Structure formats: C-alpha cells, structure tokens
Structure 1
Amino acid sequence: MPDAVLDQRYSDPEAVAVSWEVVRERLARAGVYWLTTVRPEARPHVTPLIAVWLDDAMLFTTGAQERKARNLAGNPAVALTTGTDALDRGLDVVVEGEAQLLRDDATLRRAAAAWEAKYGEAWRFEVRDGAFHHAGGVADVYRVAPRVVFAFGKDPYSQNRYTF
C-alpha cells in the first residue's frame, strides 16, 4: 500500500485524501490512457492508447518500430494519465515510472486475458516468442510499476500524491 499525502495547498479546505483503493480502481477501469515518453532530443511525445492494470502495474503495448518504442529504448521514463475532461467532477490520475519490456510468456498470457476481458474479442492476442501477435502484427508489452501517482479530485478539488 503506497503512502498517501493530500496537498492542502492545492486542495479545497474540506477535501480529504482519496483512498488508494479508489485510485487503483480508476486505473483499472479507465478505457483510454495518455502515454508520455521522451524523444531523443528531450521533447515529449504523447499518444492515446489502451492499457490494463495487472499485478500492481500498468501494461501497454506498442510495435517495436513505433515512436513510443524508439523513445523507450533511449529513456524508459514515462507518465501514463487518465481521467475526464469535466472540470467539476471525476478523478484524474497520473502514473509516473519506468517502462520495462515484458518477455515472459506466462505473464504475457495473463496480460492477454486481461486485455480481452477489459476490451473485448477485438483485442484478443496470441502470445508467443515474448510478444503479442494479432492480425495487425506484433506488439511488445511494457509494464510500468508506479514510482509516484498523483490523483486530482474535482468535487471537492484535491491533489493527492502516492509514493511507492
């Protein structure tokens, strides 16, 4: 269980810390996430993608030749964000950590089952040779164990930090 801190400087006076269980559930059920990686020239690269929460970490996929993968080869630092565009309701979450390439077929099979359970039959992957395979090609799977997570509540406004 991570340590949680409510930052009163950026929170309404009546705000209380959002429990880690609520934040973890938000990460698990979100449909779309935004991944930020760092380009070789140190500029950010941001892209939407789908992901799953498995074994206390976020997992996402990318092709080996995609910009995300090329960025990760040089710098594994990432931020994954999810939330809502509403100003006065919901919970926005930012996960910061390092992306690690998964190659273990047993873990990848569990991940593939999680993708299909969450996103449906269209996201069924065959696992072999340390990667996901599907009609569109081969996808590498990356795991991001949180180093720090921020949760931004909106009713009331709150800024929460969870360190691992």
Structure 2
Amino acid sequence: MRPTTEQLDRRYSEEKSQAVPWAAAETRLTAAQIAWIVTVRPDGRPHATPMVPVVHNGKVYFHTGSTEMKYANLKANPHVLVLAGDTAWDSGLDVAVAGTAAPVTDDALLHRLAELYRERWDGRWQLNVRDGGLAAQVPGASPVMFEVTPDRAYGHDKGDPFGQTNYRY
C-alpha cells in the first residue's frame, strides 16, 4: 500500500527542506529492530509498548499475546500509531504511521510473515502457523498477528535541514 500523496509540511520544515519519498520512510520502518506501538485503552488513556515490526506490501505487522494489554486495547479500539526512529536530534528519519490494526487469519499471509520474522532475526524468531493463527510456543499463550493498514503517516527528517513530510492514503 503506497500513499496517494507525499507532501512537505512547510509549517514544520526549514526553507531548504524537501519531501522525503515514501520509499525512504518505508526503508526506515523495515530496518527498525524495535518500533513503538501506541494503542488506546478502553478508558481512553494511551498505552505504548515496544514491538518488533515487519513491513510487507506497505503494511506493518506485529504480534502479541491474547492476554496482553495491547490485545485488549485493540479489541476495544483498533486505531494505532506505530513509531520508528531514535533519540538523535540532528540526524536520521523518524516515521509515525497512523492506521487500523486487524487480526491476520489468512494462512498464506501468516506463513509469509513467519518467514519474514525468521529472516529478520537470523532464524532466532520462530513463529509457527496453525489453522489460520499462530501456534502457542508457551502453554496458555495465544499469540495473534496484527496487520496495520495505514491511513496517514509522517516522516520527520532531522538535521540540516529539518523537515516534516505528510503521507496520505
């Protein structure tokens, strides 16, 4: 899924800034060893937690256990924010993706995502797919894969020059 527009937001950008192409933002997301996911608790308070993202066909994927807070939050409200970046002030690219998370149940897609997780961690991250879901590796745990479909994203280019690119879908 590619954004329909990429536009530099002049309100938050220096004069010589240029829009960052979505390909660069997607590369940043793909390279992130850890990203943060922000969900909304049923009472409206935010909840943020680190997760390991996989980017595939323009969407962001992550998995969580059915007993975890983010799972309960997503059942009540599927809107999420995925953040990838670092704490540097004057270099790098931070990316924020806002969208909707939904469970993945397609076996072929789950097998592909399990393969992408294995590749990303040199085979150390093993996910087993069974009957349209992820098989528990720990007794009592029920892992669930989620797909984030973006509706907007932001690229924050840090350094000389500073700039913000808005991506709309």
Fold shared per TM-score above 0.5: yes
1:63-100 deviation digits (Å, cap 9, x = unpaired): 11110010000100000001011000000000000001
Aligned residue pair count: 164
What amino acid is aligned across from residue 164 of structure 2 in structure 1? Answer: Q
Q: Which residue is equivalent to 1:163?
A: 168
Q: SS of 2:60's equivalent?
A: strand
Shift of 1:27: 1.1
Q: Which residue is equivalent to 2:30?
A: 28
Normalised by the length of structure 1, the TM-score is 0.96
What amino acid is aligned across from residue 152 of structure 1 in structure 2? Answer: H
Aligned with 1:42 (options 41, 44, 49): 44
Structure 1: gaps of 5 or more residues: none
Structure 2: gaps of 5 or more residues: none
Q: SS of 1:41's equivalent?
A: coil
1:29-78 deviation digits (Å, cap 9, x = unpaired): 11100000000100000000101001210000001111001000010000
Q: Is the 8 A contact 1:76 1:100 kept in 2?
A: yes
Shift of 1:105: 1.1
Of residues 40-49 and 129-138 in structure 1, the stretch that sits farther from structure 2 once superposed is 129-138
| 1:12-161 pair list within 5 angstroms | 12-133=14-135, 135-136=137-138, 137-155=141-159, 156-161=161-166
Higher strand share: 1
What amino acid is aligned across from residue 145 of structure 2 in structure 1? Answer: V
Shift of 1:21: 0.9
CA RMSD of superposed structures (Å): 1.1
- For the residues of structure 2 that align with 1:94 and 1:44, how far apart are their CA atoms? 16
